[in-house]
Amino acid sequence: MPPTMSQINDPKIAFAYLRPACVLLTKEPTVTNVETLSEQLKDVHDASLQQLQEYVLFPLRFVLKVPGQKKEKLVQSVAEAVSYVLERTCVQSWDTLRDLFSELCICLCSPTDPGKPADTSEELKSAVLRCMDALLHAAYGDIVFRLYEPVMLPGMGAALSLLLAVGEKDKSRDIQAAALKCLQSLILHCDCTQEHVVPSWDERCSVGGTMASFLPGITSAAARIISGDLRQGHAVTVRAIKVWSRSVGLVMEDSQLQRSKSCNTPSPDLGRIGQLVVQRTPDWVKGTAGKLCVLLKRIISCTSAHQHWRVRMEMVDLADHLLATCGQSLKECVGPLLEALVGAINDEEPRVRERCEVALRDVSQRNQSGTSSKNLTDVLSENLHSLATSLPRLMRTSDDQKKLFVLNVFLGYLKVLGPLVSVVLNSAAHLDRISKALMQVLELDVTDVRIVEERSYTDPIESSSGSHDSHTAHTQRKHFLYFTNEKIFSVLMEICRTLGYYGNIYVLTDHLLDLYRQSSAYRKQAAIVLNELVRGAAGISVAVQAKCLDRGEFQGLSASTEDLKAAVVSIMEEYTSLSNWHLITVSEETDTDRQDQQLLSPFRLQSISSSEIISNTSNSLQVIPSSSASPPTSSSVSTIHQLNSNIWQLCIQLEGVACFAQALLHDFRPLLMTSLYPVLEKAGEETLLVSQAALSTMMDVSKSCGYSSTKELINDNSDYLLNDISVNLQRLGQHPQAPRVLMVMLAHSDCNLLPLVRDIVQDVLMSLDLSYDHSAALFCSVLHALMKALARWFPPSYCRTSKLPSFKTSADQEDFDIRQFLLDYHKQKELAEGIGIEVDETEDLEAPPPLECDDADDAGGPDVKAELPSHLSIAKDVMERCIHLLSDPSLRLRLKVLDVLEVCVYVLSEREDELLPMAHRCWPALLQRLTADDPLAVLRAFRVLCTLGETCGDFLRRRVSKEVLPKLSSSLARQAPISAKAGPVYSHTLAYKLQLAVLQGLGSLCQRLDLGEADLDVVSEACLPYLSCRQPTRLQEACLSVFQHLIQVDPDSFWFTLNEIHCPSSYTPPHPDLQPLQLSGMGRPRDEYSDNVLKLLREEFTSDSQTDNRL
């Protein structure tokens, strides 16, 4: 027939058209004949095909009935042809439906073992399953329900077993999904887009009664599929969940079980088949519900945290469907089902969350009538208690994904209960179990030795200018024993905030503070929970559930501002108490501790109040007994774990102060009087983690209280802070942290603080005068911080009489006049020989003296010395003390004093008339540090010398030339052969650091002091060995910097010196009368000095050589 012909509408013509192919297929059952018939069927209209259905299906079914082994391709072609017919027609004959259903099942099963699927090709299985699905959809009217009559139980059981086996064991995902889809059709819950037969009540009851016989097999096999290998794909898992939930919903439906007597009426004529019929009695229902609960828990554990959101969505549908249809019959399953729903409230997929909210809303609405709402609340609270009981075990034994799900379930219960959380927590058992669970889960890992080792060596003045991010970026995150995932920690924190939001803040605070006091094992965890409770009570970072079990209006937050403030005050008092705030955080007693202990011993404590010193002239020492001065016992030596625990406790409590400020905002300002001083104490802590946490807290507090910066925070509260410091400095035995508070204030404030802090500075200086041998080490750090602050607040504007020698290379000279050069040279030579010196002196006498810039404003006024500004007066007083302490026997103290002295010189450089006398006074002690001291002190003293050279200029030229340069030069010359032969480890030695520091500062010092030719020769001779390529790289670089400065002072001399070592090219005289220039470096082969010499000549004298070539 022509392929372009339209479909045949007349049944008679269609019969005549199809008859030859049908007859041929009956005689010769081959693949070709089946395909021929299939092609002709496409030319027949569906209406005509409906009338010819039996006739067309007969040869196809005949092929399947032919005894003997049949080729898979033939069976596949037949199944595809039958599928085509069934998809376009309706099956109106029960016999056709029954026989064809049986024949398709035979095609699926194994010939040798009918109970198992045949080991056939995927194509054949797919075609047969598609045909079976088309058959079940094509069944017309009520004939499909005859499949569920008791007499069909054996056949139905065989079909279900085959489909379940294929769905569970087949290796193809598509085959598994197709088999499960057929199962959905058999339980009358197909989810395709075709029209389906809607059963009546009796028909539904009949189907439910029949499927009850197979419920154990269906649910067990489906559960195995659901919990199977993840590689099977989410589509198979979703289908299996649908089969499980719909089959259970069909059999255990509450409305059916209430009328089960009228539904289950088995005929006595069934014989042995009657034994397969299940009577859904109450005992059967109870036993089945218990077994289903076991399977349900396994399914929930496998799917609730599944990686694909469609599987999690289907679990929500399962829970919603079973709670809606089987709430009474599956009472044991209500808890797990609610757990599955509650766990999906916080799902990362919005569609799952929305579906879950709808399901929970429906659950809440169904439980509004009578006492059901109370029952649901009881179930949720019991589940919450049970979960809290098992939470520590689950957190220890489960993987991260399971832990995250369990915590999401916990959080979901709290959100679903909503305001009823406060009612649940009125139960002492619930409150104790939940709090203990959080204590165990949040246990910190305190075994990391790096925590106690890290020290905050960063200059507080430099670090104070950093942003909030610069502090938080280095804050080490907490390490917990039972989890490492940040998502788990965030969910735990949300649980705490939700408890604070819905719970009674007084009940929770009192209970957790009791745990905080009871055991040190719970102290850190209790503090973490308390911090988040307060934030939650303030509504910070809380996701409020729109639909809770409590249908009434939720009146805002659970705690008012007054309640919050009262809770914060009680927590802050506990945090900042002596036993919980002043914890040991250092692993061993350092020199500082020993010296501070000497200072704070009961017979050496003194008052540093100047008023008391004046009034008690007869006995200036005031003895203050102190319990802290008792000798340490062996039990007081802390382990590393205990020290880490103390560090974390302080950090958590500092974070708590920030949380409280965020909760109260401007209402926290009155609490600053009691909280800011302790925070500043910890900001000056030696332990890095604690100091960073305190600095971060200061920033958070300033932001929450409405201050623009920590500087404004400290300035605005400086009056009572300084009052506390002043009082505490008089009782250092009880308050040894007072100097640290002053240091932090200085580091984070501005010059407005100076008038307020001046009296305290005088007290500190007076204390140094009276007992410098004991208190110097304690207060030197304070003085260093003070001078750093003054240097930052009052940067000096230099006005020096000595000017830097200016040297202009020929690159800056537009023209070079050799005649003028020779005339100047001749004049200088005559002056050197004494010719014309009288004329030069006369000219010098006639020249007006230079005006000093400092005295310019005082011209014409009375000769009265103006009063020094406060900062200069303080710097001068501090420098006076430094001069006396420079010779202290303690190396550590000398190093501190040198640091303070360096900053004093910098601050006083603004007034040269004040600086130069002080420099003269400190020179002898400084010289001793430079020439006869420990290398560490020499290193620090040379840095002070460089600063003096920068500020004092030629005032120090003669002293440096006679007393310092010979020592430094001989030291450099002595160490040069050692460093040239040393290996890479040498760079970590003190000798190397001293060499590097001297080389880095020597060039600028020589240039600033404008040293003479002889001194420059000494320096050059000492530094030349460091131009060797055998020296460490950094020493070579430092030596290059020395020569770069020296070239600025005397370019000609050092050009000649470098060319004597290595001359890269010969110089031709510009005129024949001039003698050729002969240098020692000419023609010399390349050696260890060549590279650095060439680098200096190229960088410093390139333009000069071009000028020489022009000559």
Q: What is the pLDDT of residues 1038-1083, one digit of tens each?
A: 999 988 888 888 888 888 888 888 777 777 777 777 777 777 667 6
Amino acid, res. 947: T
| pLDDT attached to residue 369 | 53
Say yes or no to pLDDT of 949 above 70. Answer: yes
- Select the more confidently predicted residue: 522 or 770: 522
What does residue 1063 show for φ and ψ, rounded to 5 degrees?
-110, 115
Closest CA to 686 of 460, 444, 940: 460
- The pLDDT value recorded for residue 1084 is 74
The span from the CA of 731 to the CA of 738, in Å, is: 9
Nearest CA-CA partner of 128 in 100, 169, 155, 154: 100
**Closest by CA position to 642, among listed 688, 689, 577, 585:** 585
Q: Which of 415-419, 636-640, 725-729 has the lowest mean pLDDT?
A: 636-640
- pLDDT of the residue at 435: 92
Tokens of 755: 């008038």
308-362 tens-digit pLDDT: 899 999 999 999 999 989 988 888 888 888 888 888 888 888 999 899 888 888 8
Residue bearing the bigger pLDDT, 650 or 927? 650
Q: At what angle do helices 309-325 and 282-303 cross, to 10 degrees?
A: 160
Which amino acid belongs to residue 381? S
Contact, 151 vs 270, CB < 8 A? yes
> Of 799 and 660, which is predicted with more confidence?
660
pLDDT at residue number 311: 92
Mean pLDDT of all residues in 92-113: 87
> Range with the lowest mean pLDDT among 114-118, 158-162, 180-184, 600-604?
600-604
Q: Which of 141-145, 340-344, 371-375 has the lowest mean pLDDT?
A: 371-375
pLDDT surpassing 80 at residue 865: no
837 Cβ contact partners less than 8 Å away, ≥ 6 residues apart: 831
Minimum mean pLDDT among 221-225, 314-318, 1100-1104: which range?
Answer: 1100-1104
Ramachandran bin of 835, using left for φ above 0, alpha for ψ from -120 to 50, beta for the remaining angles: beta
**φ, ψ at 91 (rounded to 5°):** -90, 115
**551-585: b or e for each residue (b if 16 or more CB lie within 10 Å)?**
eeeeeebbbeeebbbebbeebbebbbeeebbbbeb
Give me the pLDDT at residue 663, please: 93
As a whole number of angstroms, the distance between CA 690 and CA 678 comes to: 12
pLDDT of 14 above 60: yes
Residues listed for the chain: 1111
What percentage of the chain reaches a pLDDT higher than 70? 82
459 against 602, higher pLDDT:
459
Q: What does the alpha-carbon distance between residue 1033 and residue 987 come to, in Å, rounded to a whole number?
A: 10
Q: pLDDT at residue 488 above 60?
A: yes
Mean residue pLDDT of the chain comes to 80
CA–CA distances in Å: residue 184 to residues 375, 450, 600: 34, 60, 84
Stronger pLDDT, 193 or 212, i.e. the higher one? 212
- The reported pLDDT for the residue numbered 803 is 39
Token look-up 């302490």 returns: 885
Mean pLDDT of 162-180: 90
* pLDDT grade for 145, boundaries at 50, 70 and 90: confident
Query: Among residues of the chain, what percentage have pLDDT more than 90?
Result: 23
SS3 894: helix
Side-chain half-sphere CA neighbours of 903 within 13 A: 25
3-state secondary structure 385-439: HHHHHHHHHHHHHCCHHHHHHHHHHHHHHHHHHCCHHHHHCCCHHHHHHHHHHHH
- The pLDDT tens digits for 286-320 are 999 999 999 999 998 888 888 889 999 999 999 99
Structure tokens at 1036: 């070579």
Confidence label for 817 from pLDDT (cuts 50, 70 and 90)? low
- Looking at residue 863, what is its pLDDT? 55
pLDDT at 841: 45
Q: Is the pLDDT confidence value at 614 over 80? A: no
Rg (alpha carbons) of the chain, rounded to whole number: 47
Which single residue is written with the structure tokens 């310019």?
Answer: 856
Beta-carbon neighbour count of residue 1110 at 10 Å?
9
Instruction: Find which of 137-151, 377-391, 687-701, 750-764 is predicted with most confidence, using mean pLDDT.
Output: 687-701
DSSP 561-575: HHHHHHHHHHHHHHH
